[in-house]
Amino acid sequence: MNVLSELFDRLRDLPALVQWAGYVGLFAIIFTETGLFFGFFLPGDSLLVTAGLLASQGLPLDVRTLGILLTAAAILGDNTNYWIGRYSGPRIFAKEDSLFFKRKHLMRAAQFYEAHGAKTVVLARFMPIVRTFAPLVAGAAAMPYRTFLTYSVLGGIAWIWSMLLIGYFLGSRFPGIDKHLELVILGVIFLSILPGIISWLRARRAGAAAAAPDAR
């Protein structure tokens, strides 16, 4: 319980969290956020950008080691969530809300999956909360495992390395940018989810256009 209380305290200070957690702690956080549905509240994008930024400024964390370890954590987490969904099947959609489970997040991921199919596994990596529930939905929908694994690996590599390297680049090119970390994180999160939002809006518009003739 002391570790959990310490974690919750440090969630308000990401640089302190990165330094406190180290390689093992960061691995656990990324695994939990992507692999267990109750981890949806954990900071993924912001944590990765912060870790990359601090690694560029002499923190005893190597960005290449971070990239390898956290990519593994993201892929393992995704696969854990997939198999939870696969074994639960459609029953997962009847699960009621609890302290650690919010059905609205699951349904949001399900709608995204309906619009994008297997690509959801990659696109959702860049969408907070949706990335936690997308593998669960893919498993419940019985997506072929080979297909899921391919997209999971591609998405995990793209997400982890892009966020780490954005932070590393900004930290190495702009001294003192850590004093404006909140603005950097907000900007990165907005840019990362923008393609997914645009794609979702296009799919929704196309669906509405296809339904219009039937309504006549």
- Give the DSSP letter string of 152-163: HHHHHHHHHHHH
pLDDT digits (tens, 9 = 90+) for 115-165: 777 888 888 888 888 888 888 888 888 889 999 999 999 999 999 999 999
How many Cα atoms within 13 Å fall on the side-chain side of residue 189? 16
pLDDT digits (tens, 9 = 90+) for 181-215: 777 777 777 776 676 677 667 767 766 666 655 55
SS3 label, residue 142: coil
SS3 label, residue 141: coil
How would you class 201 by CB atoms within 10 Å of its CB: exposed for 0-12, middle for 13-18, buried for 19 or more? Answer: exposed
CA distances from 174 to 56, 75, 160 (A): 11, 31, 21
pLDDT digits (tens, 9 = 90+) for 39-59: 667 778 888 998 999 898 877
Q: How confident is the model at residue 31 (pLDDT cuts 50, 70, 90)?
A: very high
Return the closest-CA partner of residue 20 out of 59, 58, 49, 56: 59
Concatenating the DSSP letter of every residue in 164-209 gives: HHHHHHHHHHSTTGGGGHHHHHHHHHHHHHHHHHHHHHHHHHHHHH
State the pTM of this model. Answer: 0.78
Question: Residue type at 136?
Answer: L
How would you class 81 by CB atoms within 10 Å of its CB: exposed for 0-12, middle for 13-18, buried for 19 or more? Answer: buried
pLDDT at 19: 86
Is the distance from CB of 9 to CB of 74 less than 8 angstroms? no
Question: Is the predicted pLDDT of residue 61 greater than 80, yes or no?
Answer: yes
pLDDT at 158: 94
Concatenating the DSSP letter of every residue in 35-92 gives: HSGGGTTS-SHHHHHHHHHHHTTT-S--HHHHHHHHHHHHHHHHHHHHHHHHHHGGGG
Angle between helix axes 14-35 and 181-215 (nearest 10 degrees) is 30
Return the closest-CA partner of residue 178 out of 56, 37, 78: 56
